[in-house]
Structure 1
Amino acid sequence: MKIESKPLRYAHAEGHTDVCYTEDGRNIITCGHDGDVRIWMDIEDDDPNSHCVGESALAVCYKDKRLYVATDNHLVQAYTFPDFDKDGIVTRFTAAVTQIKSSCKIEALGCCSENMEAKICNVEGGAPIFVMSNHKGPVLSLAICPHMKYASTACGDGLMRIWDIDTQKVVKEINCVPKINTFYAAKVLCRMDFEPSEGKYLAYPSNREIILLDCQSWGQRMSFTHNTIKCAISQCLFSPCSKYLAGNTVAGQIAVWDIESGLCMGIVEHPTSHNISAMAWNPKGNGVLAYCDVAGQLGTLVNCYGKKSSSSENEIEDIETVERDNGNDGLADDLIQNYESDDDNAISLEKIKNETLGLIKDKDDSRPASRQTAYVPSTVPPQPPFQPSSTPAHLEHRYMCWNEVGIVRCHTVENGESTVDVEFHDTAVHHGIHLNNYLNHTMASLSSTVLALSCETPSKLVCISLVGSSKEWSVSMPDTEEVLCVTAAHGLVACATNARLLRLYTPMGTQRQVISLPGPVVALGGYNTTVLAVYHSTDPGVSDQHLAMDIIAMNGRQVRSKTVPVPLTPGSKLTWLGTTDIGSPCTYDSTGILRMYDVSSGVWMPICDTNGHSKGASDSWFIVSISEPTQKVRAILCRGTTFPPTVPKPIIAELPIQIPLCEIESEKSQYEEQLVRWAHTTADVDMKTARETALKLFALACRSEIEQRALELMELLKDDRLLPLAAKYASRLGRMHLAEKLTNLAESWEKETDKLNVAQNSHFQELDTQETYDVTNSEQDLNASLIIPQKAKEKKVENVTPIKPVTIKASPGGVRNPFRKQQEVTKCVQSPLSLTERTLVEVHSTADTAENTDPLKPLTGENFMDWFTRNKSLLEERNPELTPSELSRHCVKMFKNVQSIAHADSNKRKHEDANGDTTTSAPKQSKLSAFAFQKKT
């Protein structure tokens, strides 16, 4: 039969309310925020007995004709029943008691509190049996195995812990609790429950489903959910017969499942959608479930077993009486044998033994093979789809999107009406928008060109163009599809559906493409005309999610894709997906590690560990945007939770991007971290600072008497402009052997560079052919389809030219000491180190030749090396198209001509210009002729 809900009635003042049954099932006991404990004969009792215990009461429990109440004095007070006289104090805490739990099979009382402790106490008081104190947040709930072997606690630090009572140690931790810093602000209480008869299973809520764990292997046995459940499940509870499981959501939905078949018996909606604060099954086993909500109302559900509650009440009560009668085995066997019929409610001890011990399979066991008791590998549930930069959908006031463009908020009032507000960081982009959320949109994405809104049911995509006059367009999904994720970028809008389809649209509503995803979608991101789709590549493992990302780029009529795996910290989940301001894909997991994908090199790099910037263990960061030029991560600190509040408006902090190298506190590692970070990110680096950093790292190696490391650094940088200064520095320290090696290094570079570049080019060309997005042979078209910064594109084309370092040669005047101190060198010489934005070596754009029509007069007695060192910066500025090696050869010729010109008259100068080198003495070219010359080459 269909589950029916009795009308709600007022029980207590608004606030957290708890409920329980007496062991005979004849009375309902409630306590509430008003400090009263009420004893009801049934739901229709108009005059319940009321007793005041204090200003407030958070929890109540009945056991062995005694009531245990959590009062506002932070203690568990015992009362006699029904006289309600004080009967001692069981235990005390330093903060509010959040739950009291016990059962008829255990002779103990479980209590948990906001002071980050949980206790298992004797019902008569005294020293506690077991104190669980390794929590890092308020303990929200507690469950105890009927054999007193295991206990489980759910804490506001995000973890559910399973304890071995004998060893008093944690045997398993599961990340399933929303982080919270106080019990009074918790929406999801994560009330778990052990199977009451044998304690074989532990059920706990995890987002929109209930997970059933095997208490032997702690592996996932089953999961229970329903497509009408749209928000997080707060608590779950086994029925007294262990055959049914009840769960409730934060929006007031109550569902009951048949554990054996996995079918949902029915779902009841709360009339006012208030959060359910407590549930209790009637011990009679008649299928009656009592519940209370945060508004202080009491209600009951009947027919939860699929049959009339009154018809099965006496039968189940008799069976439970037989089960408890352990003294008369013969009578119990006879009665049980009689009940081993077609009655679904009958209990067979033989069946229980066979199923538990795995002995002989019952001949009459008609369960399908998939439902038989067997060992199931321990796996984590797959991560459900989510919307990046958003807060949970069940909140009345929430962020639907918060990124570098603006903020999208959703406000829901008690009567169900909802509105959407859009606030732009730059009002020059667009003015603020206020919308009535008639379709109950739960997903939103915002870009500089379009606002995209969507919901699962009815599944419809609504977009508002922000360019020019605001134009709204919408598209409905087919009947069998529901939108799970949506993203909006500058040049497209995309949505992923439960049919594993990725639908792409232009900002004005033209349907662009439909793509099949290889697995269930998890999140979407976008940049310009590129979509990032993260999905489950395979089923989750023992503790990890197996995710992959498709980088899908739209280039005119072409669609190109590249698939890359998504790395995650062990045991974590993906919590944010996006790009930097120049388009590099980034991910953020639940452990606080931010990673960036370098498209040009094809590697993932951890760029920020937000845990180092948190003060509390339960604090987390909400990512807003990432900037590569400024090397900053803009994020919001969330204290005790995973999402920021809407009021007051939180403050955005800037976290530095930092590669987690070893021994990062040391000076050497800090310089190395800067070089690595500048090599793989498009940082707005001051070239002078970059050169000084690399030179300091070289100096540290020299001072540490590790000459081989200093030489290795020069080979790694492979910058010929570093060698003169590095050799001079080494000679000043008295390391002549290192200076000699640095002097000879340039000549070896010139000989080996061509050969090395040929090998490297062939290697990288081989890698490029393996990329899945390479659909053409044009390198320019290939780069246009990827989210690579413009600087990186130009650099990639330029680096094809072989790197030829400058050779240190003797001056024309004869043998000289190249390390002799020269006058005014330090004033005129530019630092010889150079670093690009994305690599550790930089070569200026090349050309075949260039001219210098402004010769510099050498000083009296000045040789070439002194003249070249003094005027090097000016020569580089006047000849930016030359490589360092070409510049040095060109300057040798120019120096000879300048010496001749300085000692000749004007006629002789003309004669020399006519017969001299055509490259250096040619008249100055015009701009057009210079371009024509470059075009020929």
Structure 2
Amino acid sequence: MNIESRPLRYAHAEGHTDVCFTEDGQHIITCGHDGDVRIWNDIEDDDPNSHCVGESALAVCFKDKRLYVANDNHAVQAYTFPAFDKDGIVTRFTAPVTQIMSTFKIEALGCCSENMEAKICNLEGGAPLFVLTEHKGPVLSVAICPHMKYAGTACGDGLLRIWDIDTQKIVKEVICVPKINTFFSAKVLCRISFEPSEGKYLAYPNNREIILLDCESWGQRMSFTHNLIKCAISQCLFSPCGQYLAGSTVAGQIAVWEVQTGACVGIIEHPTSHNVSAMAWNPKGNGVLVYCDVAGQLGMLVNCYGKDSSKIGANTDTEDIEMIERADDNDDLVENLIENYESDDENAISLEKIKNETLGIHSEKDESRPTSRQAAPVPSTVAPQPPFQPSSTPSHLEHRYMCWNDVGIVRCHTGENGESSIDIEFHDSNLHHGIHLNNYLNHTMASLSTSVLALACETPSKLVCISLVGSSKEWSVSMPDTEEILCVVATSSIVACATNARLLRLFTPMGTQRQVISLPGPAVALSGFNTTVIAAYHQTDPGISDQHLAMDIIALNGRQVRSKTVNLPLTPSSKLAWIGSTDAGSPCTYDNTGILRLYDIASGVWMPICDTSTHSRGASDSWFIVSISEPTQTVRVILCRGTSFPLTVPKPIVTEIPIQIPLCELDTEKGQYEEQLVRWAHTTSDVDMKTARETALKLFALACRSEIEQRALELMELLKDDRLLPLAAKYASRLGRMHLADKLTNLAEEWEKEADKLNVAQNSHFQELESQETYDVTSTAQEDMNASLIIPQKTRKKIENVTPIKPAPIKSSPGGARNPFKKQQDVTKNVQSPLSLTERTLVEVHATSDSAENKDPLKPQEGETFVDWFSRNKSILEQQHPDLTPSELTRQCIRTFKSVQSKNCVNGEGAQKRKLEEESSADSPIANAPKQSKLSAFAFQKKT
């Protein structure tokens, strides 16, 4: 028979209404926004018993002859039934309780609240059995499996979480809930339900269908939907027998499916199309379903099993149920008799018996379900991370940050009437004044730079940019019909947006379409610096617990575009929370576990530079990244207590935490010095060479005092600093470690020999380098191999403007005793401890006397090759060009050698030479140009 709908009855005032049955199925209990609890004998009861419990009551549940009601005091109050006397408080929350649930097989109560918590409580009250935290929004619903092994919660942050009650950990997360910031604005309640008999399946609504998960593999078993369902399903509920599944939509449609076959028994349209707020099956198993809507009305459906349930509903005795159980028992008995009869027959040949005895194959009769319905377990995988805007808060909030970076703050405010506005505040008021905009297009994404403000909306997808340079000019561009913007970024020189068509669209700050690039996977986030765009995307499908992400570093120079793909590391079972770049241009990422990583373009490696969790006081605290400064070695962050994003009111305070590479034993003095040297080597820090040498020398002293001479020698070989070597040798001799001092003395000669061999090897490729373009992808990494591996070459160029002086070679004395530390000038006899070296001690170097017989050493001798000429004049060329790297100096010397050689051939030996400085400025204007950032290594530099 078809499902029948009884006429609606007024139950409570307009608002959220809840309903349940007593365990014997005799009474219907409702509660509503008016604060009353009503007990109905039937839907046709004209005079139900009414009890006032407060100003409002959001949830009600009946269990073991007691009634549990969520009142306006944010407490779960117990009442006796039918006397309706107060019987204690089960638990309390700090926000309204959104649902109370229990089943006939579990001796516990599941409660959830708007304060981002859910609890599994004892029926008698006291401390909760399990508190389900880690939610980032109001908890809409909770469900517990009949064996008390798993629990499920649906939260307003968009996630359905499945918990293991024994281990109290999350075993599965599913994205299926529309994001909301309060329970009262939720249309989709996402009420979930476990199969009540064995707990094999979990049903949850997902858009216009209901998904059935297998509780063993957590893979999708099957889905239920119908072509008449035109809107999102709000809740689902298993029947007491577990064979039927009911679901309701936000438009009031109620559908019932048969779980075994997946067939739809019927769909009932709500007379007034109000959203259904609660449903309850009659525990008698007679196919009766009652429901309430947001208008406070009570309704009933009969024949939901597709059978005539009038007779079952009329008889209140349990004889019918017992007869059904006995019939089932008789069927099982008949099957057992047949099976035993076949197996006991000695003359009968049973193939099933042979299989069972020999191969151990079980018969299909022993299976609880047909084999055609048992799918292979699917490995559980995490959901792909959706796209997001770095330095922004969730879009479902009424007051949120659309962008907060080192330029300014973009806020979005949405009123109760749906009107939205955008405020832009700049940190430097001299740069630009504040801006207030009406958000007519409902922009959800924003990015701010010193030259442009970029805004974007999803549907209809449109990019709107406001120029901040000169007079504010606004331009906009609409995406193609089926293309939607997922994320946007604006830098000082470019605007980019990634779309769902896996396209990266690039624009100039004034609106010229610059380029369209195809991304290898779905976009996750965008970032940028100057003329470089960083696009993060899904490289492959997520694994069992990890996201597989990668990023493209796309650099633009004029009409040229070049890209480099880099895998993006994440902490296990984490997600990307922020992506950006430092003020020096180094790409950085931050995951939701608190690990901040920096990509060193010169070495091509990712380094963890900060663990923000070590700076948190509470376990639920998190940090919101604003910007990263390499020169000051700090990260500007906002502390978020109990949440993952900052609130707009009151305005949060930006704090600074230091950058620290997580080396081992950072609490020791040795670990701290090692961390400083490694950090200074891979970041652009405002640390001069005196401080770096002092730290290195302190580390050397610690190795000497620990009587580990090999470590001290290894440190000097690793540093390869000519000015640090005499100081280290002097300290070793003062400690009486002459063997170590002799080894340090020989290092200078070995370094010179290695440098000569390296120059010969490099000069063999000079002619090839001269014919190529001047740019190189790995030019920053192909520096002099004799450079220090810890003390950065770029820092030395930046700080040292004086001419470097090499120490004099150490020679043996005539008497055979070697004293390499004797100096021509008087020195202080009182030597200070290397752990407190002064600045004057660190700048002690040995001077070299350059004796050149030739008046003009740059003049090539007759028959002299470039290799011999470069080796003879290397020290002079280094003095004349202190700002050039070894590779840049080599290219410059090639041009100088060719020009001098050709000029001698034309003008003769007596012709006057042009100065080397003029030749350098005329031939190589690009080689002497300062670097703007680390990302400039990807920019083109064409030879003029």
Q: Please give the TM-score of this superposition, normalised by the length of structure 1.
A: 0.70
CA contact (8 A) 1:535 1:548 kept: yes
Partner in structure 2 of residue 664 of structure 1: 666
Partner in structure 2 of residue 428 of structure 1: 430
CA contact (8 A) 2:554 2:562 kept: yes
Partner in structure 2 of residue 169 of structure 1: 167
Is 1:328 aligned to residue 329 of structure 2?
no
- Which digits, 9 at most, give the CA deviation of each residue in 1:176-208, with x for residues without a partner? 799x9x999998998653233542223568999
Partner in structure 1 of residue 199 of structure 2: 199
SS across alignment from 2:619? coil
Cα gap change, 1:154/1:758 in structure 2, threshold over 3 Å: closer, same or farther? farther
Cα gap change, 1:934/1:117 in structure 2, threshold over 3 Å: closer, same or farther? closer
Partner in structure 1 of residue 466 of structure 2: 464
1:105 deviates by 4.5
1:601 deviates by 1.2
Taking the TM superposition and a 5 Å limit, the aligned residue runs for 1:108-147 are: 108-111=108-111, 118-122=119-123, 125=124, 131-132=129-130, 140=139, 142-147=142-147
Is 1:67 aligned to residue 67 of structure 2?
yes
Taking the TM superposition and a 5 Å limit, the aligned residue runs for 1:646-665 are: 646-665=648-667
Aligned pairs, number = 793
CA contact (8 A) 2:211 2:224 kept: yes
CA contact (8 A) 1:622 1:642 kept: yes
Alpha-carbon separation, structure 2, partners of 1:412 and 1:882: 54
Give the alignment partner of residue 543 of structure 2, picking from 531, 541, 544.
541
CA contact (8 A) 2:14 2:296 kept: no
Alpha-carbon separation, structure 2, partners of 1:499 and 1:301: 46
Partner in structure 1 of residue 342 of structure 2: none
1:37 deviates by 3.3
1:28 deviates by 5.4
1:494 deviates by 1.2
Letter in 2 for 1:328: I
Alpha-carbon separation, structure 2, partners of 1:547 and 1:375: 26
1:409 deviates by 1.1
Structure 2, unaligned runs of 5 or more: 333-362, 784-791, 832-837, 857-875, 887-911, 925-944
CA contact (8 A) 1:719 1:805 kept: no
Cα gap change, 1:194/1:533 in structure 2, threshold over 3 Å: closer, same or farther? same
Cα gap change, 1:290/1:481 in structure 2, threshold over 3 Å: closer, same or farther? farther
CA contact (8 A) 2:192 2:237 kept: no
SS across alignment from 2:379? coil
Alpha-carbon separation, structure 1, partners of 2:631 and 2:505: 32
Give the alignment partner of residue 517 of structure 2, picking from 504, 515, 518.
515
Is 1:823 aligned to residue 819 of structure 2?
no
Cα gap change, 1:609/1:881 in structure 2, threshold over 3 Å: closer, same or farther? closer
CA contact (8 A) 2:495 2:506 kept: yes
Alpha-carbon separation, structure 1, partners of 2:410 and 2:417: 21
Partner in structure 2 of residue 29 of structure 1: 30
Partner in structure 2 of residue 894 of structure 1: none
Alpha-carbon separation, structure 1, partners of 2:120 and 2:407: 49
Cα gap change, 1:760/1:287 in structure 2, threshold over 3 Å: closer, same or farther? farther
SS across alignment from 1:588? strand
Cα gap change, 1:830/1:7 in structure 2, threshold over 3 Å: closer, same or farther? farther
SS across alignment from 1:780? coil
Cα gap change, 1:49/1:640 in structure 2, threshold over 3 Å: closer, same or farther? farther
Taking the TM superposition and a 5 Å limit, the aligned residue runs for 1:842-921 are: 881=882
Is 1:778 aligned to residue 748 of structure 2?
no
Partner in structure 2 of residue 455 of structure 1: 457
Letter in 1 for 2:588: C
1:71 deviates by 5.0
Letter in 2 for 1:416: G
Alpha-carbon separation, structure 2, partners of 1:618 and 1:208: 35
Alpha-carbon separation, structure 1, partners of 2:309 and 2:64: 18
1:323 deviates by 13
CA contact (8 A) 1:389 1:400 kept: yes
1:325 deviates by 2.9
- Which digits, 9 at most, give the CA deviation of each residue in 1:144-189, with x for residues without a partner? 213444344689999946235xxx43464456799x9x99999899
CA contact (8 A) 1:423 1:432 kept: yes
Is 1:79 aligned to residue 75 of structure 2?
no
1:820 deviates by 4.6
Structure 1, unaligned runs of 5 or more: 303-308, 337-352, 366-371, 769-775, 835-845, 853-874, 886-924
CA contact (8 A) 1:691 1:833 kept: no
Partner in structure 1 of residue 279 of structure 2: 280
Partner in structure 2 of residue 342 of structure 1: none
Alpha-carbon separation, structure 2, partners of 1:301 and 1:598: 65
Letter in 2 for 1:621: W
CA contact (8 A) 1:399 1:408 kept: yes
1:626 deviates by 0.9
1:540 deviates by 0.6
Partner in structure 2 of residue 694 of structure 1: 696
SS across alignment from 1:315? coil
Letter in 2 for 1:688: K
Give the alignment partner of residue 315 of structure 1, picking from 307, 312, 319.
307
Letter in 2 for 1:705: E
Alpha-carbon separation, structure 1, partners of 2:640 and 2:684: 29
Alpha-carbon separation, structure 2, partners of 1:213 and 1:760: 64
**What's the Cα RMSD here?**
5.7
Cα gap change, 1:762/1:810 in structure 2, threshold over 3 Å: closer, same or farther? closer
Taking the TM superposition and a 5 Å limit, the aligned residue runs for 1:266-277 are: none
Alpha-carbon separation, structure 2, partners of 1:301 and 1:604: 61
Alpha-carbon separation, structure 1, partners of 2:43 and 2:441: 37
CA contact (8 A) 2:638 2:653 kept: yes
Letter in 2 for 1:377: P
Alpha-carbon separation, structure 2, partners of 1:511 and 1:64: 69
Letter in 1 for 2:279: A
Partner in structure 1 of residue 868 of structure 2: none
Alpha-carbon separation, structure 1, partners of 2:671 and 2:143: 48
Partner in structure 2 of residue 52 of structure 1: 52
Give the alignment partner of residue 747 of structure 2, picking from 736, 745, 757.
745
Cα gap change, 1:440/1:91 in structure 2, threshold over 3 Å: closer, same or farther? closer
CA contact (8 A) 1:489 1:529 kept: yes
1:738 deviates by 0.8
Letter in 2 for 1:659: I
Taking the TM superposition and a 5 Å limit, the aligned residue runs for 1:609-620 are: 609-620=611-622
CA contact (8 A) 2:287 2:305 kept: yes
Alpha-carbon separation, structure 2, partners of 1:460 and 1:267: 40
Letter in 1 for 2:460: P
Partner in structure 2 of residue 384 of structure 1: 386
Letter in 2 for 1:132: F
1:411 deviates by 1.0
Is 1:525 aligned to residue 548 of structure 2?
no
1:604 deviates by 0.8
Letter in 2 for 1:280: M
Cα gap change, 1:785/1:289 in structure 2, threshold over 3 Å: closer, same or farther? farther
1:281 deviates by 4.5
Alpha-carbon separation, structure 2, partners of 1:828 and 1:106: 74
Alpha-carbon separation, structure 2, partners of 1:849 and 1:208: 91
Cα gap change, 1:679/1:420 in structure 2, threshold over 3 Å: closer, same or farther? same
CA contact (8 A) 1:289 1:301 kept: yes
Deviation larger for 682-691 or 312-321 = 312-321
Cα gap change, 1:419/1:525 in structure 2, threshold over 3 Å: closer, same or farther? same
Cα gap change, 1:829/1:95 in structure 2, threshold over 3 Å: closer, same or farther? closer
Is 1:474 aligned to residue 476 of structure 2?
yes
Partner in structure 1 of residue 442 of structure 2: 440
Alpha-carbon separation, structure 2, partners of 1:417 and 1:777: 59
CA contact (8 A) 1:410 1:419 kept: yes
Partner in structure 2 of residue 397 of structure 1: 399
CA contact (8 A) 1:806 1:884 kept: no
- Which digits, 9 at most, give the CA deviation of each residue in 1:789-817, with x for residues without a partner? xx988999999xxx997453349999873
Deviation larger for 439-448 or 426-435 = 426-435
CA contact (8 A) 1:850 1:881 kept: no
- Which digits, 9 at most, give the CA deviation of each residue in 1:373-394, with x for residues without a partner? 3210111111111111111111
Deviation larger for 52-61 or 184-193 = 184-193
CA contact (8 A) 2:388 2:487 kept: yes
Deviation larger for 681-690 or 875-884 = 875-884
Cα gap change, 1:137/1:547 in structure 2, threshold over 3 Å: closer, same or farther? closer
CA contact (8 A) 1:633 1:654 kept: yes
1:256 deviates by 8.4
Alpha-carbon separation, structure 2, partners of 1:522 and 1:8: 49
Cα gap change, 1:741/1:210 in structure 2, threshold over 3 Å: closer, same or farther? farther
SS across alignment from 1:624? strand
Partner in structure 1 of residue 686 of structure 2: 684
Is 1:560 aligned to residue 559 of structure 2?
no
CA contact (8 A) 2:506 2:514 kept: yes
